[in-house]
Chains A and B, each alone.
Chain A
Amino acid sequence: MDTGNYFPVSFRFRVLFVSFGPENCGAQKLFRPRSTFNTNASTTLHDKVKSQATNRASPVFMSSNSSFTVRVYNCSILIETPSSEVYSLLDRHILPSLPRLETVAARPDIYVRVIQTDDQLHLSIQGSPVKSTSTAKDLIVPLIKVLDDEIIARLDTLRAIHSGAVVWAERAILLPGSTHSGKSSLVAELVRRGATYFSDEFALIDPDGCVHPYPRPLLLRNGLPRQVPVLPEKLNASVGNAAAPVGWIFALRYEPDCSWQVVPVPQSEAVLTLLKNTPHFLAESPGMLESFQKVASGAKCYAGRRPDVVQAADEILRSIQDSA
């Protein structure tokens, strides 16, 4: 079960560790004192990774002290750059609530590298070029998105749903929807109102139908064409760190100037909605349908058109109150 490996062993002995997984699927709190992470340990980390990587043909790890490793579920990510400015920015924005590891697996699952040539920064993953930009901050959104795909593709027991996810009263609200459907804005509005942040992009579902956090920064458009990363703490959000059962599914389509036209739908129809919003192929994902059925089994399910996020959040919280 991958959920038990969410945090490094060394970390478990340093801070309060509350294990979580299907057997205790609940909105427990796990304190992760980010400020206690010893980023100076990156030299040791780098040396270990470098020595472990000597037998690999590629990618070739850089000679640099500016590196950190983060583990998300069953996937370890090593991020390296010679630039302290880029390092600082990446450390702040890549899965910021997760601890940076002092030890790594034999080799990282994902190797991210940013190098500078003249006035350009070049982002590569697994040795393949991904994006070149003139400023470090312009690398953040592309890196977050490419990492999404890389991480999701490496999930073993968890299944992803393209969905916003927050927790309210210890149960998750899922907001499945495609890109540009306004998930992130609605998630941001709900966390401003006190919901616990899980993800603005992917709900990760375990075999028992519980949702696990995928705490990347929110990517908000704020009315502009380009997305900007927003750290949950900027919204005064608490970030989820344990699995939660799903209480509500709202499959909403944003239409400007419309009223709240959302109706309850059968749980079976919600299952089909989840199947339409997962990046996994059903035919190749044994157990996924059963997991999604468990998600819907405990949820009140709704679908329809929504107006702006403020009104939509009002209506969602009203529906939740009414269904309690």
Chain B
Amino acid sequence: MQVQRAGSNDLKINQLPDGSKVIVDSRNDKVFALNATAGAAWDACSNPTSLSKVTKEMQHSFNPGVTEELAEAAILRLQEQNLVTVSGSLPGTTRREVLATLTAVAVPLVVALTMGEQRAHAAQTGSADDDCRRPTAVISRPPNSQQ
């Protein structure tokens, strides 16, 4: 089984002080939030690798308490969001087995927001009452358009 990052050339990655990561996928117009556990797994996949190597790397760089089940769960979260590809099959640890191994290590978490979703949120974030006629539909205009 081999794990490797997908589409790395289109990704902009920023690590935050708590170890979590924001990844912008410009090709697929998505922004991802990885918690520190998923972020450590991501770091461990900088080159094509195996689950056991990911586990060791996470133990070394992130938390000695990382188990293979937890590393697998992290890889699965990344795979679900197409951030990594996995050739071959993962051992298939159940969520219950992953949770059973957790002590001080947070469950890996990857959250995605598409540009379309962000746009929809932004369009709903006006302040004016519905019964007010807005003079212009300015709120959806990009901030620099006035200048």
Contact = CB atoms under 8 A, between A and B. Distances in A.
Interface in B106-133: 109, 111, 113, 115, 117-119, 121-122, 124-129, 131-133
A267 interface: yes
Given A268-B20, A293-B16, A284 B135 contact: no
A152 B139 contact: yes
Interface stretch (B3-11, B21-29, B68-76): B21-29
Contacts of B109: 266, 269
Given A149-B139, A268-B35, A269-B33, A297 B129 contact: no
B18 A266 contact: yes
A181 to B, nearest CB: 12
B125 A178 contact: yes
Interface string A286-310: 0001100100111000000000000
Contacts of A152: 127, 139
A19 B50 CA distance: 55
Contacts of B129: 141-142, 145
B143 interface: yes
Interface stretch (A29-37, A79-87, A99-107, A154-162): A154-162
B139 A153 contact: yes
Contact of B31 (A128, A153, A289): A289
B139 A268 contact: no
Most buried by B among A124, A131, A272: A272
B136 interface: yes
Interface stretch (A237-245, A273-281, A313-321): A273-281
B144 A276 contact: no
A282 interface: yes
A145 B132 contact: yes
B99 interface: no
A150 interface: yes
B63 to A, nearest CB: 15
B22 to A, nearest CB: 5
A130 interface: yes
A126 interface: yes
B127 A268 contact: no
A116 to B, nearest CB: 19
A324 interface: no
Interface residues of A, number: 52
Interface string A171-211: 00000001100000000000000000000011000000000
B16 A297 contact: yes
Contact of B33 (A126, A268, A297): A268
Contacts of B140: 279, 281
A129 interface: yes
A126 B16 contact: no
A148 interface: yes
Given A266-B109, A282-B118, A284-B142, A162 B125 contact: yes
A279 B139 contact: yes
B143 A276 contact: no
A201 B138 contact: no
Given A266-B33, A266-B35, A149 B128 contact: yes
B134 A130 contact: yes
B95 interface: no
Nearest to A154: B146
A149 B138 contact: yes
21 contacts: A124-B135, A126-B135, A127-B135, A130-B134, A141-B129, A142-B131, A145-B128, A148-B128, A149-B127, A150-B138, A153-B146, A156-B146, A266-B33, A266-B34, A268-B34, A272-B33, A272-B111, A276-B113, A279-B125, A281-B142, A285-B142
Given A152-B139, A267-B18, A278-B125, 20 more contacts: A125-B135, A130-B134, A130-B135, A145-B127, A145-B132, A146-B135, A150-B135, A153-B138, A156-B147, A268-B33, A268-B35, A269-B111, A271-B16, A279-B139, A279-B140, A281-B119, A283-B29, A290-B14, A293-B14, A293-B16
CB-based closest 8 A-B pairs: A153-B138, A266-B20, A284-B142, A268-B20, A268-B33, A148-B127, A128-B135, A267-B16
